[in-house]
Amino acid sequence: MDTGSIIDLRSALEFLASIPGQLATTRQPVDAHAELAAVYRRSGAGPALLFENVTGFAIPVVVGILASRERTALLMGSTIERLPFDLLDALNHTCAPVTVATAPCQEVVIRPPFDLRRLIPAPTHTLRDAGPYITMGLVRARDPETGASDVTIHRLCMQGPDTLSIYFVPGRHIDQFRAKAERLGRPLPVSISIGLDPAIYLASCFESPTVPLGFDELTVAGGLRHRPVELVDCVSVAAQAIARAEIVIEGEILPGVRIREDSQTLTGYSMPEFAGSMGAAQPELPVVRVTAVTHRRSPILQTIVGPSEEHTNLVGIPTEVSILRAVESSMPGLLRGVYSHSSGGGKFLAILQIGKRSPADEGRQRQAALTAFAAFPDLKHVILVDEDVNIFDSNDVLWAMTVRYQGDVDTVFIPGVRGAALDPSRQPDGTTCKTIFDCTVPFQLKERFRRAEFMDVDLPSDVRL
């Protein structure tokens, strides 16, 4: 199979099933309440894991489709190293979505009354979570003033039979649409598409300023697949959903209505967050009133268990593209590779592989780091290494930091800069110190720092690794 056959979640699962070690399936019964997430964590989050028998539900649940960089690369028809370069190409060659008249996601239509909590096996991740969460719900809405469309993944907690809370990190585009609608006293129609071609999820995770307000991220998914994403009109609201989604929740974000995120449990917690700790429950969240649920025949619920490599890939790979694009446009050819390291959840730490070509490139590596901070405002630490360092191997990066770096002259502090809201170590006023660790060799000294080079040979046929 090749990636040309991937048009939705189920074709992606078929693709993964054809590659050893990428998809595991269990038929043992598992409870969506705290157990499913725990089993996935216990599995080591290696292969994607399909739970076929979720207690009390007819719908299976799949976790971890994008939980390894290698698998993500395979699904995009790319490689671990090429991923940000190929995504940048998609960003430069976008393809707009099209609307289709009939869609697989509407093979089954469920109208009120219903109870979401009995319909969809959304996992509760830990015993202290605020409730069952839809974590891979791609929310799509239109700007009530300009008509521009946006897609983003937001955490959605089931609060009642037809009620979801929706959490927006401040500044997110659909929250701006919601605020505009609220000022007009109107609800904001939304579709929530679940279980998608992984290219759609990856493209939806681009952030400003790379994709400004009014930029439809689905055009990047179309660029990645060289084929437009198909949309369909919702059956109950003025919104559009992903036509080949497994499940679609239709609804409206109500104006002037708020709910406490942990209103059902009062634990003070929401769910595990990407930086590794339990998230605080938000005191007041907007509310989605669900107007219909549509799905394919035999649908599959896709979910993500965090904090995990899956978060890192979803957030980090688009971050790499933002950095790559900015550095490429000002200093073409200098940046050989970029990795948004998982220790920063794909947001806080970037490793830049720099290829100095002449004495004139000396110092451009630090300019590249400054450019990276501008391209992605949440970025906190940048480690600069040479082209002979494997940026995906933390041992190799620490080797460069140990033998090619002097703390007093190769560290650049940029104190008092506004930092990421979710960085636990930021100052009380929200500022942070951005730091550049320049572990590159001065151009003039490159010969002296040459790594040992061994001959390129094949292994003896009786040596098994």
DSSP string, 203-268: HHT--TTTS-TT--THHHHHHHHTSPPEEEE-SSSS-EEETT-SEEEEEEEEEEEEE-TTTTT-SS
- Which C-beta is closer to Mn ion: that of 135 or that of 152? 152
- Cα-trace Rg, the chain: 23
Binding interface with Mn ion (CB under 5 A): 150, 173
Catalytic residue numbers? 273
CB of 411 to Mn ion, least distance (A): 35
d(CA 290, CA 310): 28
CB of 251 to Mn ion, least distance (A): 20
CB of 173 to Mn ion, least distance (A): 4
CB of 150 to Mn ion, least distance (A): 4
- Which C-beta is closer to Mn ion: that of 150 or that of 310? 150
**Which residues partner with 268 through β-bridges?**
none
CB of 151 to Mn ion, least distance (A): 7
- Which C-beta is closer to Mn ion: that of 150 or that of 309? 150
Burial class (CB in 10 A: 0-12, 13-18, 19+), 35: middle
CB of 286 to Mn ion, least distance (A): 17
DSSP string, 7-66: -SHHHHHHHHHTSTTSEEEE-S-B-TBTHHHHHHHHTTT-SEEEE--BTT-SS-EEE-TT
Side chain identity, residue 312:
T
E-only strand ranges, 162-211 = 163-167, 188-194
- Which C-beta is closer to Mn ion: that of 207 or that of 262? 207
Q: What is the dihedral of CA 307, 212, 178, 102, to 10 degrees?
A: -80
- Which C-beta is closer to Mn ion: that of 192 or that of 334? 192
Indicate if the alpha-carbon torsion angle 64, 66, 67, 72 is positive or negative. Answer: positive
| Residue 436 per-residue DSSP state | E
- Which C-beta is closer to Mn ion: that of 151 or that of 401? 151
Strands 61-63 and 301-303: parallel
d(CA 388, CA 220): 31
Which residue is closest to Mn ion by CB? 173
